[in-house]
């Protein structure tokens, strides 16, 4: 049965779907695109350095900008120093986020040295860290974990039990190990084991590419909500499609015109907001987003060679004008 809501403390999140945190992707502009298409219950920011945040670095604070219509929204932080993480979480609360989330999953070398999935290697230390952060905030505190460091040290269930004891209020699990990176398949059986082990909400994550996958994940694991990452950047309609699929058993695919409208709106917003690395983001998104588009390879090639946001927008406009002329 698809859950009617995800309940974190007293807050009911409807629908029970979550946009996964994705560094370089889920900035405020992208999140607002997702919000406007509907169907996504909870937004998450990109992960943010606790060190940068407590130094009040302008760049870090910019990462944490959000609009009122993004609520409910959780900010994710990473770091290893207990006091710094506690202060960063308190700042997250002051900035008006609904939840603070701790990243215990990032596999990137630079990050595991100072947090992320590196923290899964020393659970007594992790417990102290979680206690310190818990004591620093009143808003709900959540964590996002991987299965463990490697296949010999699968600690998700142990971490989940400990986290619940410490007062963590929801746990998202991406059941791959740090060493796996993104290879192989996410082992959803581990989501089911975590769900059986704790009373707090469990958010399942990993390899949901279609609404059918989302429903299957809930059926197979009993998770309280489904979190979607990569599929949201190639198909931002997926959250809406899940709602339709759950309610009616079917859903619409976006038309080429829908894709064009979204791409050009998103790119214009990135430029207007003067987002850092807007051109890089436009290139990355264009490449992910145009796989379902007829002759998308041609657009990807042109966008890749462009040097400015305006040039990329011209490519997009010209491509879709040509596509719609040839369809007439």
Ligand X SMILES: Cc1cc2nc3c(=O)[nH]c(=O)nc-3n(C[C@H](O)[C@H](O)[C@H](O)COP(=O)(O)O)c2cc1C
Residue with tokens 């405020």: 28
Count CB neighbours of 265 within 10 A: 14
Least distance to ligand X from the beta carbon of 229, Å? 3
Binding residue for ligand X, selected from 15, 72, 206, 254, defined by CB under 6 A = 206
Q: Is 143 in the site for ligand X (CB under 6 A)?
A: no
Per the annotation, the verdict on 114 as an active-site residue is: no
Judged by beta carbon, residue 24 or residue 184, the one nearer ligand X is 24
| Burial status of residue 31 (CB atoms within 10 A of its CB: 0-12, 13-18, 19 or more) | buried
Judged by beta carbon, residue 41 or residue 229, the one nearer ligand X is 229
The beta strand positions in 58-140, using DSSP E, are 73-78, 99-104
Q: Is 31 in the site for ligand X (CB under 6 A)?
A: no
75 bridge partner residues: 100
Q: Is 23 in the site for ligand X (CB under 6 A)?
A: yes
Q: Is 198 in the site for ligand X (CB under 6 A)?
A: no
Judged by beta carbon, residue 99 or residue 319, the one nearer ligand X is 99
Q: Give the closest residue to 275 by CA, choosing from 13, 50, 32.
A: 32
Q: Is 208 in the site for ligand X (CB under 6 A)?
A: yes
State the binding string over 73-112 for ligand X (x if CB under 6 A, else -): ---x--------------------------x-xx------
Q: Is 24 in the site for ligand X (CB under 6 A)?
A: yes
* The two three-digit tokens of residue 327, written as one number: 């369809």
Q: Is 39 in the site for ligand X (CB under 6 A)?
A: no
74: Cβ contacts below 8 Å, ≥ 6 apart: 42, 43, 44, 45, 97, 98, 99, 100, 101, 142
Q: Give the closest residue to 294 by CA, choosing from 255, 238, 250.
A: 255
Judged by beta carbon, residue 218 or residue 323, the one nearer ligand X is 218
> Does residue 98 contact residue 73 with C-beta atoms inside 8 Å?
yes
> How many alpha carbons fall within 13 Å on the CB side of residue 221?
31
Instruction: Out of 40, 106, 223, 315, pick the active-site residue.
Output: 106
Judged by the rule CB under 6 A, the positions of this chain that interact with ligand X are 20-25, 46-47, 76, 103, 105-106, 144, 174, 205-208, 228-231
Active-site amino acid positions: 106
């Amino acid at each position: 049965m698809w859950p009617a809501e995800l309940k974190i403390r007293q807050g009911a999140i409807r629908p029970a779907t979550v946009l996964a945190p994705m560094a370089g992707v889920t900035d405020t502009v992208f999140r607002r695109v997702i919000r406007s298409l509907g169907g996504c219950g909870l937004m998450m920011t990109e992960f943010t350095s606790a060190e940068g945040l407590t130094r009040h670095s302008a760049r870090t604070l910019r990462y944490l900008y959000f609009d009122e219509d993004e609520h409910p929204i959780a900010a994710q932080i990473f770091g290893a120093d207990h006091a710094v993480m506690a202060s960063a979480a308190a700042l997250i609360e002051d900035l008006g986020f609904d939840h603070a989330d701790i990243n215990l999953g990032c596999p990137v070398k630079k990050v595991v040295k100072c947090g992320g999935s590196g923290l899964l290697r020393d659970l007594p230390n992790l417990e102290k860290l979680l206690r310190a952060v818990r004591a620093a905030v009143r808003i709900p505190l959540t964590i996002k974990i991987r299965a463990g460091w490697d296949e010999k040290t699968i600690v998700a269930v142990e971490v989940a039990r400990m986290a619940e004891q410490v007062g963590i209020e929801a746990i998202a699990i991406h059941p791959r190990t740090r060493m796996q990176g993104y290879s192989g398949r996410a082992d959803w059986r581990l989501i089911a084991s975590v769900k059986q082990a704790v009373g707090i909400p469990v958010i399942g994550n990993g390899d949901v590419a279609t609404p059918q996958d989302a429903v299957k994940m809930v059926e197979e694991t009993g998770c309280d909500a489904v979190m979607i990452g990569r599929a949201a950047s190639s198909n931002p309609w997926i959250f809406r499609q899940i709602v339709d699929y759950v309610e009616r058993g079917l859903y619409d695919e976006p038309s080429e015109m829908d894709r064009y409208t979204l791409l050009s709106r998103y790119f214009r917003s990135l430029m207007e907001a003067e987002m850092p690395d807007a051109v890089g983001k436009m290139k990355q998104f264009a490449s992910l987003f145009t796989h379902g588009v007829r002759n998308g390879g041609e657009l990807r090639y042109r966008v890749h060679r462009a040097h400015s946001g305006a040039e990329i927008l011209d490519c997009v406009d010209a491509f879709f004008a040509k596509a719609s002329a040839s369809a007439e």
